[in-house]
Chains A and B, each alone.
Chain A
């Protein structure tokens, strides 16, 4: 069973108490953007085989949304962090450099 630690309330939460929210760090486009930008924002997903940054809600806990870094081929969790950020924190990317050398994520890396 997938277990994530909520970065807000510190609880270890299993997946039955969480709600998955899909890919994280998506650039949100607004009025005046091109069709291509809207399509990328709403539909295009990296859906990688490997390192995935994603959104989760601690639905049956504190109710807050947070981010997690996880591997989609092994289900290994590399860490969770606050959603109030545009990119993953350094400790998570350092761990990724160590465990998954050569990892990539769209425009972030």
Chain B
């Protein structure tokens, strides 16, 4: 595959852009692969990429029922941060954040990673104590964050009203190395790199069954025929319970809708990401000038990829007080994704009751930021058959053993 570079752009400009190749192949599925991964979203593609890059396993198929990156990877608010309270979470998300920094070079695809800084606003006394605690925990974990006062918040984000009557800004948890990335490019970059390694990305191919013999996985049935495999990775986010039922086990998950919306584009007015967890809203400005707004989840199980309107209303109403500039903006688009939420709001990366079948799920509302780290840890799990240090604490049996990684207080809503 030809490399993307400044030289390539100049070369193609000189010949009317006739020499660009397709970014990835559209292969006919083979009869058998060493590893089959269900789900060509960010985590599935990252898992395949690191299987090839770190472990040399390249006879891999990634099966996708829709189009690659068309689920939550293409529906999130692109925020990247790693200021988590618990040690296993901080290690995993910080690994992901650090991999994002060099990802454009690693996959030779510009993912537009922008470490512009993330503030999590404290708007109640409870949040002040919670975020100060997180800042101390992060210092011990080696994750660089700091507690900042309201004046510093105002300096970083001048459009903010810090004296609101209902939700005054009492400070914030500031991670200068957090930021955003182009979400589609993350999926496309990994897909192009995987295809370049000889892996098959099979789109428009839905898994209809999981075949096993004597408790060990043998392959999958799909709408494009049966595909055998030695090892199976299930990386399907909101549809995890649906696929795990085919594989014969249940998961501690509930699938709910999470929504986001964007405004009409306006001139640059905000060069950081702000999260306001008390009011369930988070905000950043895209390169096109749109204000990107994320809201809270609905309370009921849902697979429709659309959420309840009143949650949008609540989010916008609450953000209007802190960001008066928003009050006259028209909202252009609103959409929903189906997120799989666990009891302790932490993901599951681990073995399953079915032999040689591994799962990566339960990211809830915060999967995008973790894509490279989740892929790295899942690749290690699949390659070695046992979880490595990053994934160890996130195993499925932690629910039976009571080893929760409780992030529901620190980051339950706005991941």
Contact = CB atoms under 8 A, between A and B. Distances in A.
Given A15-B308, A36-B400, A72-B255, A47 B241 contact: yes
B400 A2 contact: no
Contacts of B239: 49
Nearest to B340: A47
A22 B407 CA distance: 20
Interface SS of chain A:
mixed
Contacts of A16: 310
Contacts of A26: none
Interface in B141-188: none
Contacts of A107: none
Contacts of B242: 47-49
Interface string B378-415: 00000000000000000000011000000000000000
Contact of B252 (A45, A52, A54, A72): A45
Most central of B300, B310, B343 by chain A CB within 10 Å: B300
Interface SS of chain B:
mixed
Interface in B267-319: 298-304, 308-310
A86 interface: no
Contacts of A44: 250-252
Contacts of B399: 39, 42-43
B241 A20 contact: no
B260 interface: no
A42 B254 CA distance: 13
A100 interface: no
B299 A39 contact: no
A42 B343 contact: yes
Given A23-B254, A72-B303, 6 more contacts: A20-B298, A22-B301, A38-B400, A45-B241, A45-B250, A45-B252
A70 B245 CA distance: 19
A33 interface: no
A75 interface: yes
A46 interface: yes
A19 B298 CA distance: 10
A75 B302 contact: yes
Contacts of B308: 1-2, 15
Nearest to B306: A75
8 contacts: A16-B310, A20-B298, A20-B300, A38-B400, A43-B343, A54-B301, A72-B255, A75-B302
Interface residues of A, number: 28
A19 B250 CA distance: 25
A98 interface: no
Nearest to A106: B250
Contacts of A49: 239, 241-242, 303
Given A2-B300, A54-B300, A39 B251 contact: no
Contacts of B45: none
A84 interface: no
A20 to B, nearest CB: 4
Contacts of A72: 255, 301-304
A73 interface: yes
B160 to A, nearest CB: 28
A23 B254 CA distance: 9
Contacts of A39: 252, 399-400
A74 interface: yes
A17 to B, nearest CB: 10
A54 B298 CA distance: 14
B253 interface: yes
Contacts of B252: 39, 43-45
Nearest to A39: B400
Contacts of B300: 2, 15, 20, 54, 70
A91 interface: no
Contacts of B250: 40, 44-46
A73 B304 contact: yes
A74 B304 contact: yes
A47 B309 contact: no
A20 B340 CA distance: 16
